[in-house]
A and B are shown apart, each in its own frame.
Chain A
Amino acid sequence: MDDLDRRIINRLQGEFPVCERPFQMVAERLDTTESELITRIRCMLDDGLLTRFGPLYNAEQMGGALSLCAMKVPEDRFDAVAEQVNSFPEVAHNYQRDHEMNMWFVLAAETAEQLDACLREIEEVTGIPVINLPRKEEYYVGLHFRV
């Protein structure tokens, strides 16, 4: 990663323009060329330095249902329960965390009813209560990392 890569990452976590030649517009501001900018983004994606380039959708605003859920899983059953929970396609990500509530996952479904049904099914399959923590209000989603 060199200085230009860093400047590309810092700038493109902001707004990528919607116009006919957006790469050219950004390239001018970064003091580089359109083709160099495209090549750099492709390389950083291939390399895994970037995980995505494109529109970031807001699932709830798109009409989907989303919730953060937590479970208190006994240590000796942890891996087996993780496998059960992960087998649901509605589980988008799942993290182990160092707390009494040790399993944290995000459920995403097309509707609130589907989300509730999935949640109940996870409780049934695992025999462990799921704490459902849907967001009530969002104050900030920045995800902006300076390099």
Chain B
Amino acid sequence: MSQILTKDDVLKVAKLARIEISSQELEDYLKELSEIIEYVKQLEKVDTSNLKPTNQVTGLSNVYRNDQVLDYGYTPGDLLDSLNKIEDSYVKVKRVIE
């Protein structure tokens, strides 16, 4: 069966997601992602020309909050504690520029 995706497609998705994949994974994902898209493709059989896209299912609109500082019951320090690496209150990450 001809794949719906190419290896380049999979590599591009991996790159956008900042995920490194092995050549074996590339084969696997090519097959799996193609199958998923093939499955979802069934929807194309439905005539949607007269339908608006469904972006929301709740029917809500204008769910607002007033512009007031809220106390969420924790401190910023509590949040930092849950993060991986902290230096001088900054979040430490792999260097992103040269």
> Do A and B associate with each other?
no
Contact surface of B with A, Cβ cutoff 8 Å:
none
Contact surface of A with B, Cβ cutoff 8 Å:
none
